[in-house]
Structure 1
């Protein structure tokens, strides 16, 4: 039916062009010549996109067949993760979201796309470099060998072994976080956890990257880093989807100003210069480990790479964990049973707040890990699909690229919406319910059936907050440690609940909305390269005399 209608429309356009052509020959009006030429080009463009384009048989919104503007509009509204769920419900597990892009929504697609040696990062990642053409960093380099080299350089910085050495510095930043909460509680103030967690994340990564104390939790001078990350992220997310929009960069500068971006770069420059004036071996940090030789004859990061890697390191390490931590505080304040169970686990496992550190005791807190993973399932720190395409060498070799049974034409960028996948009821029953128990074995002695085991395996395969494969997030160990220490120590020293009245609603959805933001007890995320959010507002109460351990 649809193909017949398209054929009729195309035939009508050609007839109009033919009639205008006759008029042009009889009355050679230049305006008619221009109009005829435009209509002819339009007819050819429409016919190609509808009838002969390699992706013509993939379903999706009509406008997305012709332009990236459809998807870019969703990115601009910061709701593409919500719309992707609606699109998959309407069109199925694969949707054409742009002329050359497909989004999938299955566990099989995740493996086929992100765990595939024939696949590389898509061309879209070039737009995440400085000015769209700067030096590539670990995140946006396309070349596989270059990425492997960068990964070998950076991996030791954020490994579990490195985290054991770095933990005292992380502890120091967390201490400042807890003291700030104590002061707010003593002043009867409710606390917006988003800026508190963002500042903690930035302070931690500042120490890890360059041994530099940004002190954003206590001093305002470097807080512009947080806003600069958001400004850079919001623009980059548009370019990431539609590179054409980069031509409007001067317009964005004019409307928004460059204060946040310039301040961000100044602060990063300050950190680098301060660190370079200090002996390299004097501090255990990114600079010390990444600037040395990683192997005989294989140097670390040279000066031209250091800036690109530093910007990525600060932005990624300072923001992604803050999303998860803000989400954890949101869900615990909305789900009292989960709050009570986690508080009991923490308070019976340790004897003092000083005992809460990396090691067997912290690892034994299985419910804490389940809370973290359930939060990352419901509120992942990355919402934009990680665009991939077939490696040019694989294309040249004539190898097929198949995703979930679909043959993908060369040049097509494909991805999976983590948010949509992790809210698919076929993998996660009751996907909008915060249920940490889904990550734990059943409490009774009844052995799992084969179907239950298969469902658990499938759930794990569909849980990809750090992505998978050789391009997965290298900072996984650091993220888990930071989240575990922050949540465990907060629950040791404080009780908390959502703020009373309207203030306590911040962070949740608004009932009655039909755009995916109507769930009151779901932490609301806003699509960008670095996810944006606000809230929750919480009231903290010191727990007994335990707070006296904190240094004020």
Structure 2
């Protein structure tokens, strides 16, 4: 017994000694000790981990920049920047790679997708394949299917308009986004806009995003493999989500490769995959990422645009006038020269993307371990020690007054003037070699939805308390005190609720809606 007590005593003493040495080093000797930041963040990644779990890391990051300045130490080995110079130096730099913490997003430890692959050659190969499915030429071929999904969205609005039922634009937009990506990715109709069966997928994606975001912010959690623990629960939401993705792939693989114009038709012939067990091949990680990222991100931008337009009447009226004067009929509203000529429509979308970016987090990078240059890595004039994670928080940059005066005001007009600072700081799709491959798809889908909605309907916030869902609450000090800001919850991507809107069909076009098969 005495020997056991002695061993326990040694263990406790060693632990205390380790903590004292570690704390002393991180505060007094660490290469990043000169940079300002929250005291706890200098000692532990638990600082970011806590706010990630609270789903407001983006808000806390913005507050820390206001308090400490444009360069903030946000973890023992993390430096945050808030400048266009840093944006260029980090994300358009061949000497940096994605941070190792992105392994938290791997579905399987040894499998990488276009998003989390750190090796540049692997990323280039995967990006080339995915890019073919998302090229402008490819999207033109996919447009008829996308328009069918948008028409289903309009059908939801029409049914609600007949008895003035409020519509929650968060699930409505997400149903559309996931249905569209199911078709583009796998030629598979999830029918989320019309049926309940697969709607649990939304909650599955939210939980997955929360886990990834918290683990990336507090990397010690990565070793716990919370995703595998979740898989051990019978009929868990994660298991059911992955089963749906597997079903979509298997159903599509049972057809000829060229049977449909979708992602699989491009990548299946090029990837080494086991068609008997898709989870063992290179196709699996690409499919899981494509499905999750492709549908939800566009839905956030869509809900944000509806929120801001419904609360800024001058912007709403100007956009409605542009759409209704540009086109002679709804059939003319399709991607092409006429839709591209709607400059105010694009400005409204860009302003919604700025204020409510689908990804509001910090894309972390670090010096490439394979970099053999003798010169130090310099970011915004700062020499970066080896092993340091660097990044620019998207939410903070998009609300930096230096680039966006009155940053919490929805002002689409700011995108109609030549403002090089604003354009340089606008980063909803990332930049450099890692720029989002789905950028064109997002703009096409958002443009079609907003234009066709305003052609057929007028809308406004729902009456009473329901119409306030999605707003901030005056008096709060946690970053959610701005009433006119659409509230996002940082979960790797973004979660949100609302706005609740009431739609009224434009009387003279009601017959046209019925003629097109809506009821």
TM above 0.5, one fold? yes
Alignment partner for residue 82 of structure 2, among 105, 114, 135?
105
1:398 aligns with 2:374: yes
Larger radius of gyration: 1
Aligned twin of 1:7: none
CA contact (8 A) 2:271 2:283 kept: no
Distance 1:428 1:73 in 2: 29
SS of the counterpart of 2:490?
Answer: coil
Aligned twin of 2:277: none
- Size of the alignment, in residue pairs? 504
Distance 2:231 2:284 in 1: 26
Alignment partner for residue 541 of structure 1, among 501, 504, 511?
504
Distance 2:252 2:12 in 1: 63
C-alpha distance after superposition, 1:60-97 (max 9, x if no partner): 11111121111100101111111111111111111111
1:386 aligns with 2:363: yes
Shift of 1:172: 0.6
Aligned twin of 1:77: 54
CA contact (8 A) 1:290 1:301 kept: no
Shift of 1:252: 7.3
Aligned twin of 1:209: 185
Shift of 1:526: 0.3
Spell out the pairing of 1:455-466 with structure 2 (5 A cutoff): 456-466=419-429
Distance 1:257 1:416 in 2: 40
CA contact (8 A) 1:153 1:301 kept: no
Shift of 1:250: 7.6
Distance 1:264 1:241 in 2: 24
Alignment partner for residue 523 of structure 1, among 457, 481, 486?
486
Cα 1:249/1:345, change in 2 over 3 Å: same
Shift of 1:548: 2.9
Shift of 1:289: 1.3
Spell out the pairing of 1:18-57 with structure 2 (5 A cutoff): 36-57=13-34
Shift of 1:243: 2.4
Q: What is the Cα-based RMSD across aligned positions, in Å? A: 1.9
Shift of 1:270: 1.2
Alignment partner for residue 328 of structure 1, among 296, 305, 308?
305
SS of the counterpart of 2:493?
Answer: coil
Distance 1:466 1:226 in 2: 22
Distance 1:112 1:504 in 2: 43
Aligned twin of 1:66: 43
Aligned twin of 2:138: 162
CA contact (8 A) 1:190 1:539 kept: yes
Moved more, 224-233 or 534-543: 224-233
Aligned twin of 2:432: 469
Alignment partner for residue 193 of structure 1, among 163, 169, 177?
169
Shift of 1:259: 2.9
Distance 2:45 2:381 in 1: 25
Distance 1:252 1:278 in 2: 34
Shift of 1:301: 5.5
Distance 2:359 2:453 in 1: 25
Cα 1:255/1:266, change in 2 over 3 Å: closer
Shift of 1:248: 6.8
Alignment partner for residue 70 of structure 2, among 93, 97, 102?
93
Cα 1:412/1:480, change in 2 over 3 Å: same
Cα 1:34/1:178, change in 2 over 3 Å: closer
Aligned twin of 1:421: 397
Spell out the pairing of 1:107-506 with structure 2 (5 A cutoff): 107-131=84-108, 133-246=109-222, 247=224, 249=226, 253=230, 259-292=236-269, 299-300=270-271, 302-303=273-274, 304-394=281-371, 396-441=372-417, 456-506=419-469
SS of the counterpart of 1:220?
Answer: coil
Cα 1:506/1:134, change in 2 over 3 Å: farther
Shift of 1:39: 3.8
Q: What's the TM-score once normalised by structure 2's chain length?
A: 0.94
Shift of 1:354: 1.1
C-alpha distance after superposition, 1:458-479 (max 9, x if no partner): 1111001001000110110000
Which segments of 5 or more consecutive residues in structure 2 lack a partner in the other structure? 275-280
CA contact (8 A) 2:231 2:238 kept: no
Q: What's the TM-score once normalised by structure 1's chain length?
A: 0.88
Aligned twin of 2:278: none
Cα 1:124/1:212, change in 2 over 3 Å: same
